[in-house]
Amino acid sequence: MTVIGGDDIVRGLEAQLRANVPAVITLLGLTDLGEIQTWQIVPDVDAIAAAKLPAIAIVSPRVSAQPQRSNSEYSAEWQVSVGVFARGDDHEHTQTQIQQWAKVVRASALMTPSLPGTKIRIRWAGEEYDLLPNKKDARTIAGAEVMFDASVEKAIDLTALRNDPLLISVHPDVQPN
């Protein structure tokens, strides 16, 4: 029986990022970014406020499209967000650094067509920055959110459940679809 959920997606994406971030940093020549100090799977990307920086928060809050049914199987697409938070030396350094981290996250997530050990495919869906445009607003911490859609061809396969004798109703007119 197959049942894939948002938790499988965030754990797969975390494994992908942990494996690829160091290599992408090196390939892009961004070694001054350092290493991610905190990795968390959270209910909301802002829930990582007390983390050691730089930090990554991964969340899958919802499906991003109506699941599609074919016989006993459903395919689905989830929204997945990776929040990255960093601290710079000053306003300009912070602005640049968070945009570089977003590039690293995006490239690291998309390096392979599917998440490790799964058939979950990731597609880049968007990117937002939490930056202050005014240098007078001293800002040495910033965040970016890199959004992805995670597609699963067989998110749930009900075939095994439908053939399970425990699920067959005692009422002959009420049977599983």
174 within domain boundaries? no
Within a domain: 143: yes
- The encoded tokens of residue 166 equal 């425990």
* Count of structural domains, the chain: 1
| 172 occurs within a structural domain | no
Tokens linked to 103: 């590039």
Query: pLDDT by residue (tens digit) across 26-58?
Result: 999 999 999 999 999 887 766 776 778 899 999
User: Would you say 104 and 20 are in contact if contact means Cβ atoms under 8 Å apart?
Assistant: no
Helix (H/G/I), strand (E/B), else coil: 135: coil
Q: Give the structural domain span for 38.
A: 2-162
- CA–CA distance, 67 with 59 (Å, rounded to integer): 19
Whichever domain contains 144, its CATH number is 3.30.70
For the record, the structure tokens of 95 come out as 């602005």
pLDDT, tens digit (0-9, with 9 covering 90-100), for 123-173: 999 999 876 556 565 567 888 999 999 999 888 888 866 665 554 445 455
Least confident of 11-15, 86-90, 120-124: 86-90
Residue 102 included in any domain: yes
Query: pTM of the predicted model, to two decimals?
Result: 0.83
For residue 137, what are the contacts with CB-CB under 8 A and spacing of at least 6? 91
Mean pLDDT across the chain, nearest whole number?
A: 84
Asked if residue 66 is part of any domain, the answer here is yes
